Amino acid sequence: MSIQIRQGSAADLPAVHGLVGELARFERAADAFTATLEEYHEDFTDRFFHVIVAEETGSGKVVGMALYNFVYSTWKGRMLYLEDFVVDPEYRRHGIGQRLWDVLKERGRERRCKLMKWQVLDWNEDAIRFYENQDAEIEKEWYNGKLTL
């Protein structure tokens, strides 16, 4: 299997949207996934988010992605926020996630980010193990807050 890791384009958004839908189902939150493909296109065009994709060479199928944006930490400075990180279940255990992760870190370094943050569900042991293997700190003392606008 040959996989190319590259910066995503607008042409990749249907596949990215599909992977996010799969993630929402996996996380038992399919009803909460309401962002439309049209919104993805609009927000990508406005550079509201960026995406790195893993594409199977030959077929052109997007089999994984890391969707992220840049934010600011008043304590640390520039920060990369990883919103979603998904590899199609059929393509897992081939190092694709690691390759996406490495490119994601490089994007943060290119923008002089000092910190990368994300969320992980407490029951997603495979993801937690992956992050811990990356020498990441999984914080347990902070609660998430959100407000629907």
DSSP string, 16-50: HHHHHHHHHHHTT-GGG----HHHHHHHHHTTS-E
**How many folded domains does the chain comprise?**
1
Residue of 40, 91, 131, 143 with catalytic role = 131
Provide the 8-state DSSP code for 144.
Answer: P
- What proportion of the chain, given as a percentage, has pLDDT over 90? 93
- The residue range of the domain holding 111 is 3-133
Position of tokens 């870190």?
A: 105
pLDDT above 90 for 146: no
Residue 37 confidence class, pLDDT cut points 50, 70, 90: very high
Strand 62-73's sheet: what is its strand order? 3-7, 50-56, 62-73, 77-87, 115-117
Q: Report, as an integer, the average pLDDT of 108-113.
A: 98
pTM for the complete prediction? 0.94
Whether 147 maps to a domain, the answer reads: no
Question: Could you confirm whether 131 is annotated as catalytic?
Answer: yes
**Residue 30, token pair as written in the block:** 């399919």
Whether 39 maps to a domain, the answer reads: yes
First to last CA, the chain: 43
Helical H segments across the chain, by residue range: 13-26, 37-45, 96-110, 125-133
Structure confidence by residue, pLDDT tens digits, 63-108: 999 999 999 999 999 999 999 999 999 999 999 999 999 999 999 9
User: Domain containing 101 — which CATH number?
Assistant: 3.40.630.30
Whether 45 maps to a domain, the answer reads: yes
